[in-house]
Amino acid sequence: MRQYLDVKDQHPDALVLFRLGDFYELFFEDAVLGSRLLDLTLTTRDKGKDDAVPMCGVPHHAARGYIAKLTELGHRVVIVEQVEDPRLAKGLVKREVARIVTPGVVLDDEVLDPKQPRYVAAIVATKQSVGLAYLDATTGELRATELAPAELEGELVRVAPREVLADAKQLADGGALAALRARYKVAWHATAIPATVDAAVTELAKLSGVDREAALAVRAAAAVVSYARATQPTGALPIRALAMYRPGDAVVLDEAAIANLELVETLIGRRAQGSLLDVIDQTVTAPGGRLLRRWLLYPLVDVAQIRRRQDAVAWLVERPALTEQLRRALSRIADLERLAGKAMLGVAMPRDLGRLRDALAALPELIALVASGTTKLDPAPALLALEPARDPALATLAARLARALVDAPSFLLKDRAIRAGYDATVDECRSLADGGKEQIAAIEEREQKGSGIPSLKVRYNRVFGYYIEITKSHLAKVPAHYARKQTIATGERYVTPELAELEKKVVAAEDTLAIREAELFRAEVCAVAELAGPIAAAGAALAICDACAALADVAASRGYCRPIVDDGRALDITDGRHPVIEAMLPAGAFVPNDCRLDLDSDQLVLITGPNMAGKSTYMRQVAQIVLLAQIGAFVPAKAATIGVCDRVFTRVGASDNLSRGDSTFMVEMRETATILANATARSLIVLDEVGRGTSTFDGVSIAWAVAEHIHDAIGARTLFATHYHELVALAESRPRVRNVSVAVREHKNEIVFLRRVIPGGASKSYGIDVARLAGLPKRVVDRSREIMATLETGCFAAETSLRSASPQLSLLANVAPTSVETSLRAALAAIDPNRITPLEALQLLADLKSLT
Ligand code: ADP
Ligand code: MG
């Protein structure tokens, strides 16, 4: 217990799994918690005594699954192993912390998603600025950035770490970080973030050319590295570089945009299937999949970089046969980044090194394949050239591993992973052990004949090694020199001096063999670890090939085009399609549509049309096409010109956003406020039914004011869908507002959705037509039309704006004033509409609403 308590003292907030023989045991509160989480029977140690200790355990061979379950539930697990052979130990067997498994630091392939990174992140926050760093311990990918506090949550959502470290005091003080922890549900770990940065990270930062200003980011990196390092006392983290980035290096995408555009998971149900990534991720390797995910979440803003990727994709699109061959070859290649990581961490198994060797051996074939597509006029683009895979050290390593390891090593070393002929000691011990076993087998036949007992068997068990077993009916014939060892139900077990002697030889040979094999294998792992950098670099180069080939494959199979990406002010899409919905419909069923946005003329496109017409689909498709274009991909359109966007904002109206279940209007307004505060003239804004979450009057007014503000003050390219067709009038007073609508046709008393976006606003909302079709009495339908006519002429006549809103208020005049109305009237009387900005109008509206 002393040993146990020492460990527990050092890890009070983790579950300690303590190896005792064939079990990992949990004690005290850990046992109580563990038994509940893992559905284990809770027992006690030293039963009956006053200080009986609660305990529960899991068999060591099944521990993996249990550990995985605990970490997936957000717990940290400390694994304590026996570090000496219990047979040889004098007194207490020595035990040490072998590793710590945390939600963010998991090395188990069975738990890891091959196509997703597993990040642990650290936050170092001051009032003005936040350092964020995150590490994938399996590959050593380490990135850091410095952000404004308001940007942190969006970036966390994009990075999606499984575990976040932050300063314990800040988490406890009820401030911004505490609030973030309450909202952002992952495993948070309150810790002390060191004020100084350790030498290793300082070195990394220097190597990566990090400037002084990034002090918070570097501190966050140091925190995350030292945390991860402590989880692996016996291995080294495969970190080679600290990649610093600025939020503005990529298109800024906040949580709303990532969710609404369904980039990596669907809005409803949060499934990967049906997301944009799902459609374009035709990668055939895990690193390729991880890279493409990153590309999609960090679209580029630099035209030259985008074109480099496009060049690579286009080059492959023009060579379909080569691309197919390349993809087939890549699909056989193991995850070099994670295998190199495993070698450095010291957790590589023989099977891992076998796969690594085969992958390295396949590199020349891949290089040759890409080179074979090179023509004088059209050489392979630099991105595909696989330069790092040409490192001769890799070929040397592959040859070395080929000599040392059998063709298909299994998971375990003792399954003869070392190739025969590689090492004299191994060969000798194996033949001694095998010879001994053969001799033992021969004894069985000899003794059967000698004793006249045909059923005599030589057997082996772990308790007393080799023995002779004789069934009851033959006990009379047992030779005198057999020494009885054990009685069993069916007979007796014996040993002989000869057997004991042979056994000793076999055991000695096998012991020596195991030690030697382990030594040799460790040397191979070290040889790999030493080249971990070049191996991972080759892996990264393959990942780029895979990602580009995947995009080429999608482009070819789905008929995408190469967009023109430039720094221009336009966004011009001909026959664009929604990549995901198109993929779900039968071929040709999706109706393509054009989109033209231009800062100088068609800055804000207002989309009207009845419910279900296709407004949301149209807007999302435009945003997705922009993002695809900016990751360097081809896009679902006949032709497209994309002037790069620096940010993409989306806001999706209440009823389209059921899954969130928040107080919808508040969320809607908060998201709208974020957009208005952060959008620039280079942004793309997608607003879907803003104002829908409140009554019609506020809804129309807010939508109107927001649209005006975007037009007048921000000047960003904007798609604005609304079922308030009153807004159509905006185009008459604002020069860069264009109306389009999604066409519908009435046919035999039904509304037919044509899915065509046509110029001009919807003339009517069709709501009343739908009501008529649904069988509402004619009197009611007619009355609806009357009321609608009043509203249309009264409320939002084009030449006036919100100022002329008085007719709608007159609707209220017929009702006896209540105290609420009295105060509303008073408040309204105090407003001078000529002197307020649209934003103030918004605020006023919110105030007025609060009076009701
Ligand atoms: P709205 O936002 O106008 O209410 P949606 O965009 O949600 O309409 O579209 C309603 C349905 O119509 C979608 O589920 C989609 O499957 C289908 N749809 C939309 N646009 C198209 C199109 N261009 N081609 C084919 N089907 C479409
Ligand atoms: Mg919609």
- Whole-number Å distance between alpha carbons of 265 and 158: 12
Q: Is the shortest distance between the CB of 754 and ligand 1 below 6 Å?
A: no
Residue 238 CA, chain-centre distance (Å), reads 20
Give the C-alpha distances (Å, rounded to integers) separating 624 from 10, 373, 542, 686. Answer: 49, 31, 26, 11
- Whole-number Å distance between alpha carbons of 17 and 10: 14
Closest CA to 241 of 343, 139, 383, 154: 139
Beta strands 141-147 and 243-245: pairing type? parallel
Q: What is the CA radius of gyration of the chain?
A: 35
CA of 656 to the centre of ligand 2 (A): 6
Testing ligand 1's pocket by substitution, the residue of 593, 595, 612 carrying the most ligand atoms inside 8 A of its CB is 612
Q: Is the shortest distance between the CB of 613 and ligand 1 below 6 Å?
A: yes
- List the residue whose alpha carbon is closest to atom 10 of ligand 1: 612
Q: Is the shortest distance between the CB of 617 and ligand 1 below 6 Å?
A: yes
Residue 759 CA, chain-centre distance (Å), reads 40
Given a cut of 60, whether residue 658 has pLDDT beyond it is: no
CA of 617 to the centre of ligand 1 (A): 5
Q: Half-sphere exposure (CA, 13 Å, Cβ side) for 659?
A: 12
Measured from the Cα of 578, ligand 1's closest atom is: 23
Please report the DSSP string for 679-728 in residue order.
--TT-EEEEESTTTTS-HHHHHHHHHHHHHHIIIII--EEEEE-S-GGGG
CA of 822 to the centre of ligand 2 (A): 37
Q: Band the pLDDT of 638: cuts 50, 70, 90.
A: very high
CA of 609 to the centre of ligand 2 (A): 10
Measured from the Cα of 753, ligand 1's closest atom is: 12
Q: Is the shortest distance between the CB of 299 and ligand 1 below 6 Å?
A: no
Testing ligand 1's pocket by substitution, the residue of 581, 590, 606 carrying the most ligand atoms inside 8 A of its CB is 581
Query: Is residue 454 classed exposed, middle or buried when 0-12, 13-18 and 19+ CB atoms within 10 A define those classes?
Result: exposed
Structure confidence at residue 730 (pLDDT): 92
Cβ 678 vs Cβ 646: under 8 Å:
no
Q: What is the token pair recorded at 73?
A: 């539930």
- List the residue whose alpha carbon is closest to atom 9 of ligand 1: 614
- List the residue whose alpha carbon is closest to atom 16 of ligand 1: 581
Beta strands 130-136 and 141-147: pairing type? antiparallel
Given a cut of 50, whether residue 659 has pLDDT beyond it is: no
Residue 478 CA, chain-centre distance (Å), reads 68
- Whole-number Å distance between alpha carbons of 27 and 44: 9
Q: What's the pTM?
A: 0.87
CA of 755 to the centre of ligand 1 (A): 7
Q: Is the shortest distance between the CB of 590 and ligand 1 below 6 Å?
A: yes
Structure confidence at residue 267 (pLDDT): 86
Cβ 76 vs Cβ 44: under 8 Å:
no
First to last CA, the chain: 66
Q: Is 822 helix (H, G, I), strand (E, B) or coil?
A: helix
Who has greater pLDDT, 385 or 693? Answer: 385
Q: Is 353 helix (H, G, I), strand (E, B) or coil?
A: helix
Q: What percent of the chain has pLDDT over 70?
A: 94
Cβ 25 vs Cβ 17: under 8 Å:
yes
Q: What is the token pair recorded at 247?
A: 């939020």
Residue at token pair 């435009």: 622
pLDDT digits (tens, 9 = 90+) for 503-521: 899 989 999 999 999 999 9
Summarize the confidence of residues 132-136 as an average pLDDT. Answer: 97
CA of 611 to the centre of ligand 2 (A): 7
Q: Which ligand is nearest to the CA of 619?
A: 1
CA of 754 to the centre of ligand 1 (A): 10
- Whole-number Å distance between alpha carbons of 689 and 703: 8
Q: Within a 10 A sphere around the Cβ of 438, how many other Cβ atoms?
A: 11
Q: Is the shortest distance between the CB of 611 and ligand 1 below 6 Å?
A: yes
Q: Which ligand is nearest to the CA of 741?
A: 1
Q: Is the shortest distance between the CB of 235 and ligand 1 below 6 Å?
A: no
pLDDT digits (tens, 9 = 90+) for 185-236: 899 999 998 888 888 888 888 888 776 667 899 999 999 999 999 999 988 9
Given a cut of 60, whether residue 806 has pLDDT beyond it is: no
CA of 578 to the centre of ligand 2 (A): 14
pLDDT digits (tens, 9 = 90+) for 13-58: 999 999 998 999 999 999 999 999 999 999 988 766 777 899 999 9
Closest CA to 738 of 714, 757, 766: 757
Q: Is the shortest distance between the CB of 250 and ligand 1 below 6 Å?
A: no
Q: Which ligand is nearest to the CA of 617?
A: 1
- Whole-number Å distance between alpha carbons of 357 and 359: 5
Given a cut of 50, whether residue 522 has pLDDT beyond it is: yes
Q: Band the pLDDT of 430: cuts 50, 70, 90.
A: very high
Q: For residue 563, which amino acid is it?
A: P
Q: What is the token pair recorded at 303?
A: 């035209």
Given a cut of 50, whether residue 801 has pLDDT beyond it is: no
Q: Which ligand is nearest to the CA of 620?
A: 1
Q: For ligand 2, a single-atom ion, which residues have Cβ within 5 Å?
A: 616, 656
Q: Half-sphere exposure (CA, 13 Å, Cβ side) for 262?
A: 27
Average pLDDT, the chain: 89
Q: Within a 10 A sphere around the Cβ of 42, how many other Cβ atoms?
A: 13
- Whole-number Å distance between alpha carbons of 606 and 761: 8
Given a cut of 90, whether residue 811 has pLDDT beyond it is: no
- Whole-number Å distance between alpha carbons of 337 and 544: 13
Measured from the Cα of 592, ligand 1's closest atom is: 23
Q: Using alpha carbons only, give the angle 200, 286, 154 rounded to the nearest 5 degrees.
A: 65
Residue at token pair 């060892």: 485
Q: Which ligand is nearest to the CA of 650?
A: 2
Structure confidence at residue 763 (pLDDT): 66
CA of 591 to the centre of ligand 1 (A): 9
Structure confidence at residue 749 (pLDDT): 67
Q: CB pairs under 8 A, 24+ apart, for 403-411?
A: 404/520, 404/524, 405/350, 405/353, 405/354, 405/357, 405/524, 406/354, 407/354, 408/354, 409/350, 409/351, 409/353, 409/354, 410/350, 410/351, 411/349, 411/350, 411/351
- Whole-number Å distance between alpha carbons of 14 and 773: 63
CA of 610 to the centre of ligand 1 (A): 11
CA of 693 to the centre of ligand 2 (A): 13
Q: Is the shortest distance between the CB of 615 and ligand 1 below 6 Å?
A: yes
Q: Which ligand is nearest to the CA of 613?
A: 1
Q: Is the shortest distance between the CB of 616 and ligand 1 below 6 Å?
A: yes
Cβ 718 vs Cβ 687: under 8 Å:
yes
Q: Which ligand is nearest to the CA of 654?
A: 2
The three-state (H, E, C) secondary structure of 223-284, written as one string: HHHHHHHHCCCCCCCCCCCCEEECHHHECEECHHHHHHCCCCCCCCCCCCCCCHHHHHCCCC
- List the residue whose alpha carbon is closest to atom 12 of ligand 1: 614
pLDDT digits (tens, 9 = 90+) for 562-579: 999 999 999 999 999 999
Summarize the confidence of residues 461-490 as an average pLDDT. Answer: 88
Q: Is the shortest distance between the CB of 111 and ligand 1 below 6 Å?
A: no
pLDDT digits (tens, 9 = 90+) for 328-344: 999 999 999 999 999 99
Given a cut of 60, whether residue 807 has pLDDT beyond it is: no
- Whole-number Å distance between alpha carbons of 662 and 666: 8
Cβ 102 vs Cβ 119: under 8 Å:
no
Q: What percent of the chain has pLDDT over 90?
A: 65
Polymer length in residues for the chain: 852
Testing ligand 1's pocket by substitution, the residue of 617, 655, 686, 757 carrying the most ligand atoms inside 8 A of its CB is 617
CA of 616 to the centre of ligand 1 (A): 7
Q: Is the shortest distance between the CB of 674 and ligand 1 below 6 Å?
A: no
Structure confidence at residue 47 (pLDDT): 67
Q: Band the pLDDT of 817: cuts 50, 70, 90.
A: low
DSSP state of 194: P
Q: Band the pLDDT of 366: cuts 50, 70, 90.
A: very high
Q: Using alpha carbons only, give the angle 761, 767, 772 rounded to the nearest 5 degrees.
A: 135
Of 143-152, 722-731, 842-851, least confident by mean pLDDT is 842-851
pLDDT digits (tens, 9 = 90+) for 727-764: 899 999 999 999 999 988 877 767 788 899 999 887 66
User: What is the layout of strands, in order, in the sheet containing 639-643?
Assistant: 564-566, 639-643, 570-576, 593-598
Closest CA to 56 of 38, 77, 76, 41: 41
Structure confidence at residue 697 (pLDDT): 77
Q: b vs e for 684-707, b when ≥16 Cβ sit within 10 Å of the residue's Cβ?
A: bbbbbbbbbbbeebbbbbbbbbbb
Q: Is the shortest distance between the CB of 581 and ligand 1 below 6 Å?
A: yes
Summarize the confidence of residues 164-192 as an average pLDDT. Answer: 92
